[in-house]
Structure 1
Amino acid sequence: METAKLVIDQVGKVFSTKSGETVALDKTSFEIKEGEFITILGPSGCGKSTLLRIVAGLEEPSSGRVRLDGREIHGPGPDRGMVFQSYTLYPWLTVEDNIAFGLQLKGVSKAERLEVARHYLELIGLAGFEKHYPIQLSGGMKQRVAIARALANDPEILLMDEPFGALDAQTRAIMQEILLKVWEESKKTILFITHDVEEAVFLGDTVYVMTARPGRLKKSIPVTLPRPREYSVKNSAAFFELKMELLELIREESLKVVKP
């Protein structure tokens, strides 16, 4: 009986281009358990985002399959929440209406969806901003709303594609702490793509490192740092050791694609 929440089984992806076929992913396999926070690292162009889009159902794999709760994925579904690097908020809707939008589509009553929206506003630290519009928010605040909107739909898994990549370093660090707080409260299964090694270690239960294109799993590194995690753990020797191990793995793969 399948006990994993998400199963990536020998997934491959080939794109056809004018110059021929490009293999983006090749025989990639791993499993994620219920409630795990998994981060994925890899050199640019290794297929990290392609893999996430396949899990989201936005791309079909050329080979292999993906199963969520034992069901094979074909196309998008409400069981998967997606957060992109761009904020993708509706500018004509207030903050609370952005968060409640998916619930409205499901036919949830106004009173119930506003109650859910305000719960997540409290969780992400934006209580009092219910009636604001996205244009009135900073980048970090917009991304918090995007995360709250994804969680409000109560997905089985949250898929995050470099959600903090467009933020400045200080805001990014704060957002990492906020996300951990939200995860500890919601216990959602999270698959998180990032280029940032420190971010991968700070957030993840396990870090998966991918090879250069064609992307496949190179190594999985368990993160044994205690939870709940405080920002100060980034100054610990254990954190530094994990960071250096991952930097070396990424360096090995990045050198493979550097032209002599």
Structure 2
Amino acid sequence: MALATVPQATGNKLTVINLTREFTLKRERITALESVSLGVQEGEFVTILGPSGCGKSTLLRIIAGLAESSSGQVYKDGHLIQGPGADRGMVFQSYTLFPWLTVRQNIEFGLSLKGMDGVRRRQIAEHYLEIIGLQAFASAFPKNLSGGMKQRVAIARALANDPDILLMDEPFGALDAQTRLVMQELLLKVWEETRKTILFVTHDVEEAIFLGDTVYVMTARPGRLKARIPVPLARPRSFEVKNSRPFLELKGRILEQIREESLKAATMMPAGCA
């Protein structure tokens, strides 16, 4: 397993260089992230694993421009990221739909903010409704949807804005096992069609391997990159690959690394961000 090295800002879709995030909690100085560096290629599907409290979500929020780093830089296409932007879409674990809007209206929301005309908005919404298989629920409100359906809408809403990079913070974490598997396969289908650059945070080792081209393993807090692990599994993928020898061997090696870091995290006082 290759250790992560400091990437160059040029040539990558996304580059994180020596990122550190510190904050004060009850007069104690906490380091959530320390000297994190990684590079993501155009169209790459990157998954990030690590124990609770290691700074995975903090890293994603800094890339999204929703949080500030204490030091270090994030570059997109060689340009320094200095705040939020429509070029980065975010999907959270919680269901962040607007309850007063229908499914179609939720998908169209960002497009309407851009001033796009109604005909074009509807065309884009219908396209993503077809991809996520919710055409029959276009006029439904979020309260009438299951958890998996809500996350499908959240993903469609993010993609409808056509971001260069899709940031996903444990989007399937609250789903049951069966729905989670369906959502993983749906996301792969969407990625194969759009080839968006994706950063996907998860606690689930199987999920990280199944989805990713590359898996980054983070240490216990302060979060550092412990390893960069290419996933040598052919695409397209279906759930049957999870029973293959290469998948199970890779899962075993990564689980051992995660176990080491989780044991370290268990000895720490609960502080910091996920």
Output the TM-score relative to the length of structure 2.
Answer: 0.93
Counterpart of 2:219, as a letter, is: T
Q: CA deviation at 1:44?
A: 0.7
| 1:167-193 deviation per Cα after TM superposition (whole angstroms, max 9, x unaligned) | 001000100000000000011000000
Task: Name the structure 2 match of 1:247.
Answer: 255
Q: CA deviation at 1:127?
A: 1.6
4+ aligned runs moved over 6 Å, structure 1: none
2:131 to 109, 123, 126: 123
63-72 vs 99-108, which moves further = 63-72
Counterpart of 2:258, as a letter, is: I
Give the fraction of aligned pairs with identical amino acids, expressed as a percent: 67
Task: Name the structure 2 match of 1:221.
Answer: 229
Task: Name the structure 2 match of 1:176.
Answer: 184
1:61 to 60, 66, 69: 69
Task: Name the structure 2 match of 1:89.
Answer: 97
Q: CA deviation at 1:4?
A: 0.2
User: In the alignment, is the contact (CA less than 8 A) between 2:53 and 2:265 conserved in 1?
Assistant: no
Q: Following the alignment from structure 2 to structure 1, what is the Cα–Cα distance between the partners of residues 194 and 265?
A: 39
SS in 1 for 2:36: strand
Establish whether residue 185 from structure 1 lines up as the match of residue 193 from structure 2.
Answer: yes
Task: Name the structure 1 match of 2:47.
Answer: 39
Counterpart of 2:68, as a letter, is: E
Task: Name the structure 2 match of 1:73.
Answer: 81
CA RMSD of aligned residues (A): 1.1
Q: Following the alignment from structure 2 to structure 1, what is the Cα–Cα distance between the partners of residues 47 and 231?
A: 10
Task: Name the structure 2 match of 1:136.
Answer: 144
Task: Name the structure 2 match of 1:152.
Answer: 160
1:113 to 121, 126, 141: 121
User: In the alignment, is the contact (CA less than 8 A) between 2:51 and 2:265 conserved in 1?
Assistant: no
Task: Name the structure 2 match of 1:25.
Answer: 33
Structure 2 residue ranges without an equivalent (≥5): 1-8, 269-274
Q: CA deviation at 1:259?
A: 3.3
SS in 1 for 2:135: coil
Q: CA deviation at 1:128?
A: 1.9
Establish whether residue 165 from structure 1 lines up as the match of residue 177 from structure 2.
Answer: no
The structure, 1 or 2, with the larger RCO (C-alpha pairs under 8 Å, 6+ apart) is 2
Q: CA deviation at 1:19?
A: 2.9
Q: CA deviation at 1:258?
A: 3.2
Output the TM-score relative to the length of structure 1.
Answer: 0.98
Establish whether residue 200 from structure 1 lines up as the match of residue 208 from structure 2.
Answer: yes
Q: Following the alignment from structure 2 to structure 1, what is the Cα–Cα distance between the partners of residues 108 and 116?
A: 9
Q: CA deviation at 1:142?
A: 0.4
Establish whether residue 212 from structure 1 lines up as the match of residue 220 from structure 2.
Answer: yes
Q: Following the alignment from structure 2 to structure 1, what is the Cα–Cα distance between the partners of residues 83 and 265?
A: 32
Q: Following the alignment from structure 2 to structure 1, what is the Cα–Cα distance between the partners of residues 133 and 11?
A: 34
Counterpart of 1:132, as a letter, is: A
Structure 1 residue ranges without an equivalent (≥5): none
Establish whether residue 11 from structure 1 lines up as the match of residue 15 from structure 2.
Answer: no
